[in-house]
Amino acid sequence: MRLSPWIPVALFPALLYLYFTSPSFIILTYKNSIEKEKAYENICDYSNGTWVRDKKGPLYNDTIGRKIKIKQSQNCIINGRPDSDYLYWRWKPSQCNLPRFEPHTFLQLIKNKHVAFVGDSLARNQIESLLCMLATASTPKRVKHQGSRRWHFASYNANLSFYWSSFLVQGIQRSESPEKGSKYNTMYLDHVNERWARDIDQMDLIVLSFGHWFLVPSIYYEGDSVIGCLNCTGLNYKEIGFYGPLRKALRTSLNSIIERKAAKGNRIDVIVETISPSHFEGDWDKSGTCSKSTPYREGEKQVEGTDAEIRKIELEEVENAKSYGKQFGGFRLEALDVTKLALLRPDGHPGPYMNPFPFANGVQEHVQNDCVHWCLPGPIDTWNEILLEMMKKWKEKPRSEE
């Protein structure tokens, strides 16, 4: 029997009616609009969340670390750290999921670009994490450059570099052994450190990560005069604490970037990382340790005290610089707020495994611990996962001038 042509025609409106009133259609539409809205508003706050178990583990291992020549004091596996639990955690932001790092996507985004990490040993720790992750896709080549450590990804014509500048502004670090050498940092708060700043015009993305060096005794200059000091008992200077100086150093640096690049009509992207807390139980110089072997749970530990204050200053200065830089279309700036996710990971530091096999000759009375930097692989890989998400969002949402 031939099907009457009228049957489908008659059925069609009925089906249409059923479909549009069905709960699944309504839910689907609702979900789509929410997802669109989410993507549109960039509402995910990566800074708030919790560490959850993850079977997958890290993207790389110590073999790559050796190839990139990361600082050996952060290669915990090679140094004999016996537990590996700390490698099986993933950061879960409370409102979204943080995707696993995709080295190809990152390299594609930095094609023909120069990405500079500027700051202290934590900036170096992070760029080495990034290099290890990228090296799973493409091997970088170390290239000589005056004033920085530099790596070149030939197939992408991309450069990554690390500029050591622990204050961002000009200054002289106090001696590593203050009993013998200089007891104080000297900082020139209104002069950006030219070691990195003279290359600003060749940079496309600058990641600033600093802070820990502000906590030691210092003498502060503005212009030619001393404006105060930190912990300089016996010298005839005013104690002004380090919060003000830290704020000024960051402001001087961000202003320099804006004035030397954006104000001249060039594009520049800047990321300011908030402070990554350390986890010494006891004083760092009196054999303090970080012995916890699991992350803190949500709510178990709050960002407080010095860490909270430094983070607040950094976020405020980012907002200040954003409003100053807004008049120049090519300027983009965001904070990468790692303070909470770092605070929750006391288990991710090298601890005694900053040195190879620290217990090879039995347990010593005095073992030096590193509870500031992070094992590679380790939690700091997550900072770079968030960095990649921020870069992807920037790519989707073009600058106002474009």
Ligand X SMILES: *[C@@H]1O[C@H](CO)[C@@H](O)[C@H](O)[C@H]1NC(C)=O
The minimum distance between CB 200 and ligand X, in angstroms, equals: 13
Query: Tell me, what DSSP letter sits at residue 111?
Result: T
Q: Specify the residue, 61 or 186, whose C-beta has the smaller distance to ligand X.
A: 61
Residue that has been written with the tokens 């409106």 in this structure: 13
Using the minimum distance from each CB to ligand X, give the nearer residue, 170 or 391: 391
**Catalytic residue from among 199, 347, 370, 381:** 370
Check 47, 73, 121, 209 and give the catalytic one. Answer: 121
Q: Which of 278, 262, 151 is nearest to 211 (CA)?
A: 278
| Closer of 61 and 105 to ligand X (Cβ) | 61
CB of residue 60 to ligand X, shortest distance in Å: 6
Task: In whole angstroms, give the CA distance from residue 33 to residue 21.
Answer: 17
Torsions phi, psi of 317, nearest 5? Answer: -70, -30
Helix locations, 284-372, DSSP H: 305-325, 339-343
Q: Which of 120, 307, 373, 381 is catalytic?
A: 373
Active site residue 307: no
- Annotated active-site residue 370? The verdict is yes
Residues that bind ligand X (CB under 6 A): 48, 61, 63, 94, 112-114, 136, 143, 152, 157, 159, 231, 239
**Nearer to ligand X among residue 159 and residue 339 (C-beta):** 159
Q: Which of 281, 347, 282, 341 is nearest to 311 (CA)?
A: 341
Query: 191 or 312, CB closer to ligand X?
Result: 312
**Please, what is the minimum distance in Å from the beta carbon of residue 5 to ligand X?**
57
Distance between alpha carbon 230 and the CA centroid of its chain, in Å? Answer: 27
Altogether, the residues listed in the chain come to a count of 402
The C-alpha atoms of residue 202 and residue 147 are separated, in whole angstroms, by: 13
- Which residues, 6+ apart, have CB-to-CB distance to 154 below 8 Å? 141
Tell me the closest approach of the beta carbon of residue 149 to ligand X, in angstroms: 12
Residue 112 backbone zone (phi > 0: left; psi -120 to 50: alpha; other: beta): left
Residue whose CB is less far from ligand X, 42 or 48: 48
Pairing state between β 114-119 and 89-93: unpaired
Which residue's CB is nearer to ligand X, number 191 or number 309? Answer: 309
Q: Considering the complex, what minimum distance in angstroms separates the CB of residue 8 from ligand X?
A: 50
Residue 119 Cβ vs ligand X, minimum distance, rounded to whole Å = 20
Are the CB atoms for 384 and 129 separated by under 8 Å? yes
Q: How far is CA 34 from CA 29, 208, 238, 253, 337, in A?
A: 9, 34, 55, 39, 25
Strand partners, 272: 208, 335
Minimal distance in Å, beta carbon 151 to ligand X? 9
User: Which three-class secondary structure state does DSSP give residue 25?
Assistant: helix
Sign of CA dihedral 370, 99, 105, 273: negative
Q: Which residues belong to the active site?
A: 121, 370, 373
